[in-house]
Amino acid sequence: MTVLEAAKGIMRASGNTGQWVNGYPSREVVEADISSGHGFVVTEDQRIVGYFAYIPSPEPTYSYIEGGAWLEDTLPYHVVHRIGSFPEVHGVFRAIMDWCFERERNIRIDTHSDNHIMQHCIESYGFTYCGIIYLADGAPRLAYQKLL
């Protein structure tokens, strides 16, 4: 939870005040990730420096995409959610994606329109912008996909 709080601090400092609000992601969400086998940590020198959820399809909020289309919409995929790290640790996003792509060739991810840091990471890793998806509460997110 300390990693995710640090990630919220990064978001707020960069002007992203609309994402991860009202206690999200909560301890219960993270515990559910872990108990379902989908929550993972990134370590450096035996210290936890990052967290992410790696979840198999289908992702219900990805069934409808606006202003575009998925690159491929028939194959199974994994979704990466809730990426967070400490601000002083670099390369966490790349380490996460390298690990994920060792296990799956088709990955989707989304982020808030104000999360310019995450958009840069996603695009720099070679993901393609596909359109806008809507979370269960109706909030829009920029959606990306990468196929190997």
Q: Using CA atoms, how far apart are residues 50 and 93, in angstroms rounded to an integer?
A: 9
**pLDDT interval class at 14 (50, 70, 90):** very high
Domain ranges of the chain: 2-147
Average pLDDT, rounded, for the chain: 97
Q: Which of 141, 131, 129 is nearest to 81 (CA)?
A: 141
pLDDT at 128: 98
pLDDT at 103: 98
How far CA 35 is from CA of 26, 100, 135, 138, in Å, comes to 14, 19, 22, 27
In tens, the pLDDT along 42-62 reads 999 999 999 999 999 999 999
C-beta of residue 78 within 8 angstroms of C-beta of residue 55: yes
How far CA 90 is from CA of 19, 28, 50, 141, 144, in Å, comes to 21, 27, 10, 25, 22
pLDDT at 22: 92
**pLDDT interval class at 40 (50, 70, 90):** very high
Q: Which of 120, 113, 119, 114 is nearest to 141 (CA)?
A: 113
In tens, the pLDDT along 70-129 reads 999 999 999 999 999 999 999 999 999 999 999 999 999 999 999 999 999 999 999 999
Q: Cα angle at 40 between 104 and 2, to 5 degrees?
A: 145
In tens, the pLDDT along 97-108 reads 999 999 999 999
- DSSP label at residue 60: G
pLDDT at 10: 96
C-beta of residue 86 within 8 angstroms of C-beta of residue 94: no
Query: Could you name the CATH architecture of 2-147?
Result: 3-Layer(aba) Sandwich (3.40)
Bridge partners for 92 per DSSP:
none
pLDDT at 58: 97
